[in-house]
Amino acid sequence: MLNFVKEMMVTGLGAVFFTKDKVEEMVQQLVAEGKVSREEANDLVNDMVQKAKEQRENMKERIIKEVENNLNKAGLVKKEEVDKLNSQINKLQLHIESLEREIEALKENKIEVVEDEL
């Protein structure tokens, strides 16, 4: 009977939303009805709370993966990727400005500069 009660309580998404207080309330009701002994009640509560935590974490991971998949399919990128690209652009801009200054300095010294067309 105890295994049936455990399975019934953790099956489906319902267990994800159980709070410890709610589990304790449900187990106390089972104790009052004589379906679970007082000795089993504490173990049952701890087991149910642990399973609910695991299911919440599993659900969280699945949601994150699904959102990331949908963003990728839509062609959207993460903020970290945009930040990395912006950093690379800034470095390239600084490098280009440095090269332009070098070219100007060479021109001022009347050194012939051959510019490649891109």
pTM over 0.75: no
- 60 band by pLDDT with thresholds 50, 70 and 90: confident
Q: Which residues contact 41 (CB under 8 A, 6 or more apart)?
A: 27, 28, 30, 31
The distance of Cα 111 from the centroid of its chain, to the nearest Å, equals 57
Q: Is the pLDDT of residue 31 over 90?
A: no
CA distance 37 to 33: 10
Cα distances (angstroms) measured from residue 74 to each of 62, 63, 67, 81, 86: 18, 16, 11, 15, 21
Mean pLDDT of 77-82: 89
Q: Is the pLDDT of residue 47 over 90?
A: no
Instruction: Judge contact between 13 and 51, C-beta under 8 A.
Output: no
Q: Which amino acid, residue 102? A: E
Q: Is the pLDDT of residue 105 over 70?
A: yes
pLDDT at residue 11, rounded to an integer: 55
pLDDT at residue 1, rounded to an integer: 46
Higher-pLDDT residue of 36 and 112 is 36
